[in-house]
Chains A and B, each alone.
Chain A
Amino acid sequence: MVGLGGTLLLFLVLPFVALLLDGGPDSILRGLGCALTWPAMRLSLGTSLTSVGLVVLGGTPLAWWLARSRWRSARWLEILLQLPVVIPPAVGGIALLLAFGRRGLFGGVLERLGWSPAFSSIAVVMAQVFVSAPFYMQAAVQAFGRLDRNLLAVGRSLGASPPRLFFRVALPLARPWLIGGAAMTWARALGEFGATLMFAGNMTGKTQTLPLAIYTALELDIHTAQALSLLLVAFAFALLLFLRRFNRNLEVSRKTAMP
């Protein structure tokens, strides 16, 4: 048992160790100095946070509805919503082009309205939302599904309106899982590459996110690419760590608040 677990752990961690050993601190410094870095960093941060915001905003009510729906098709919908995880992101990008591209299903309508997502930062956000939403949805549907029905029933019997029930009972109880799901979604959005490249293109400052910058740098010089990758890894690690801390503090404060 320990051997199996240890093997997997080593397998997952070693590539990062190799990346770090091969690069070292000068490598990170060089990454910081690369012309592609800062525009990509800013864009990545902006678009991925926007994506998470949109996913949470739309995904929370959708998950709440899906988790409580007795409608059989709701289970099918849940599976449908997981599909973006399975298809290769580049195919996702093509699908987005076919739907929202200038010649796509809705592209013509959008363009007639004088707006086209092609080659814009909005396209980056669309690609990120598409590939990363399933992670939040999965967590949120499970979190709401796991809620103690009795608590909700008690709340209802005490006269709480459905919105009040949602905001004062369901949401606080599900919060740790929701935040965990949002963190996964954020990480996936930050690392998104294939769909972005296909759907949004590659333009410094506009659509070139950090993973695209890394791939572009790879064409130049593998060390710059490594340095940028280290930067991305360090950045993601810090944010995930922060979220975990934040989540734990929330739980501690709730437990102390509700003896």
Chain B
Amino acid sequence: MNRRKFFRMFLSIACLATPFLSAPARAAESGELTVYAAASLREVFQNIALIFEKQHPNLKVHFNFAGSQDLRVQIDQGAKVDVFASADWKHMKPLATEGLVVAPTVFARNLPVVVVPKDNPSKVATFVDLAKVKHLVVGAPEVPVGAYTENIFTAAEKLQGKVFAEKVRANVRSRELNVRQVLTKVAMGEGDAGIVYRTDALTMPDKVEIIEIPASINVVAEYPIAALQAAPHADLARDFVKLVLSKEGAKVFSAAGFGTAEAQAKK
């Protein structure tokens, strides 16, 4: 290729790429609220955003859904964020201690459940049947769902005995890095059973069956939300948090299978 040809090609590629290059710059303009939220909140927060955008017609809510840990690292590294919603306290507390977020509050709760593929090859009927599952898939202990799973196993050990817990742990074939991966493996039939949040399980009603974990050994996952101290749109950020904590917000969360902060208070 001669030099002129090369240059012409370079120019045409550069022109093609320009619209993509300009996209991030737009985010800095006002009229966009940036919300970092845990991956398990994807569907439900998109519904919240619809309500919020109706209340603020000239505003667009911009999401970043990922594991709470990844989001926390990005915030620690100075990402410009208005609101942060975490899947556990572990990743919210340090940010509060550093003074990066304002008054985190629990807005939703989630319950771990056992999921099995629709045809249930290992014939799991109750939690104790996990002792006979060949391919059990759980979250890694480093991620929230895996830490909760470990708590459940420990509680089960006290109730059902050491042998049971050992059997269940020996059946674990994979420790996935987020809850959706656990769900995917079970939905695709790679895993015969897995432990995920109820709300995740409810997103695939035609692929997986839910089996409850006895309340005596189960744990409740708490989701805290907070506006960032350095939020580029502080007022809007506060409004968004307010909406999430409101009755209207609670309706959206309970429709998706979350336990709400209100329901818990009544108990």
Contacts and interface: CB of A to CB of B under 8 A. Distances in A.
Given A97-B190, A102-B189, A219-B67, A118 B140 contact: no
A162 to B, nearest CB: 36
B135 interface: yes
A219 B68 CA distance: 9
A222 B176 CA distance: 18
A119 B181 CA distance: 13
A202 B140 contact: yes
A219 B190 contact: no
A177 interface: no
Contacts of A203: 172-175
A102 B190 contact: yes
B135 A202 contact: no
A101 B137 CA distance: 15
Nearest to A200: B174
Interface in A181-229: 197-198, 200-204, 207, 212, 215-220, 222
B177 A197 contact: yes
Contact of B177 (A98, A101, A119, A216): A216
B257 to A, nearest CB: 25
B98 to A, nearest CB: 14
B122 interface: no
Interface in B108-135: 135
A216 B142 contact: yes
Contacts, number: 60
B143 interface: yes
Contacts of A202: 140, 174-177
B185 interface: yes
Contact of A119 (B67, B69, B135, B140): B135
Of the candidates A101, A103, A200, A204, the one having the most CB atoms from chain B within 10 angstroms of its own CB is A103
B202 interface: no
Given A119-B173, A201-B176, A218 B69 contact: yes
B73 A219 contact: no
B93 to A, nearest CB: 15
B190 A118 contact: yes
B188 interface: yes
Interface string A81-106: 00000000000000001100111000
B244 to A, nearest CB: 25
Contact of B143 (A103, A198, A219, A222): A219
Nearest to A203: B174
Contacts of B135: 118-119
Contact of A101 (B140, B172, B175, B189): B189
Nearest to A212: B177
A219 B140 contact: yes
Of the candidates B73, B176, B188, the one having the most CB atoms from chain A within 10 angstroms of its own CB is B188
A63 B92 CA distance: 53
A201 B173 contact: yes
Interface string B184-197: 11001110000000
Contacts of B70: 218
A17 B174 CA distance: 34
A5 to B, nearest CB: 14
Interface in A103-152: 103, 118-119
Contacts of B173: 118-119, 201, 203
B142 A219 contact: yes
A248 to B, nearest CB: 28
A235 to B, nearest CB: 22
A119 B73 CA distance: 30
A207 B69 CA distance: 22
B142 A119 contact: no
A96 B135 CA distance: 18
A207 B181 CA distance: 15
B176 A101 contact: no
Contacts of A212: 177
A198 to B, nearest CB: 8
B188 A201 contact: no
A222 B143 CA distance: 13
Contacts of B176: 197, 201-202
Contacts of A102: 189-190
Closest 4 CB pairs of A and B: A201-B174, A219-B142, A103-B189, A119-B173
22 contacts: A97-B188, A103-B188, A103-B190, A118-B173, A119-B174, A197-B176, A198-B184, A201-B174, A201-B185, A201-B190, A202-B174, A202-B175, A203-B172, A203-B175, A212-B177, A216-B140, A216-B175, A218-B73, A219-B69, A219-B143, A219-B177, A220-B142
Interface of A: 97-98, 101-103, 118-119, 197-198, 200-204, 207, 212, 215-220, 222
